[in-house]
């Protein structure tokens, strides 16, 4: 069964913060094979491995607030594909 939370994560308030240098938010993300392949392909091509991140303010069942995250390959505008020129058949052949 496929995990519906792949390429998603969450940031929760770090309630175990012990110094000013500790992060204010902490969380995890589970990446799909497809997103890992995208990152690997970018790295093999010598390009930075870039990922887009989107976030939503959420509330857990216990009332704790967190930021829900979604990770995806960066948006790239698709170039319109052109159909190959139609071959016209000579009606006299």
Tens of pLDDT, residue by residue over 37-81, are 999 999 999 998 889 999 999 999 999 999 999 999 888 766 666
Q: Looking at residues 13-19, what average pLDDT do you find?
A: 93
- The per-residue b/e assignment along 60-70, b for 16 or more CB within 10 angstroms, e otherwise, is eeeeeebeebe
pTM for this predicted structure: 0.68
pLDDT at 4: 74
pLDDT at 62: 93
Contact by Cβ (8 Å): 90, 84: no
pLDDT at 1: 42
């Amino acid at each position: 069964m496929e995990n519906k939370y792949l390429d998603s994560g969450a940031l929760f308030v770090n309630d175990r913060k012990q110094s000013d240098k500790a992060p204010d938010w902490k969380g995890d993300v589970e990446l799909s094979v497809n997103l890992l392949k995208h990152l690997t392909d970018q790295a093999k091509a010598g390009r930075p491995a870039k990922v887009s991140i989107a976030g939503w303010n959420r509330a857990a069942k216990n009332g704790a607030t967190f930021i829900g995250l979604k990770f995806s390959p960066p948006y790239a505008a698709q170039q319109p594909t052109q159909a190959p020129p139609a071959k016209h058949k000579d009606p006299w052949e």
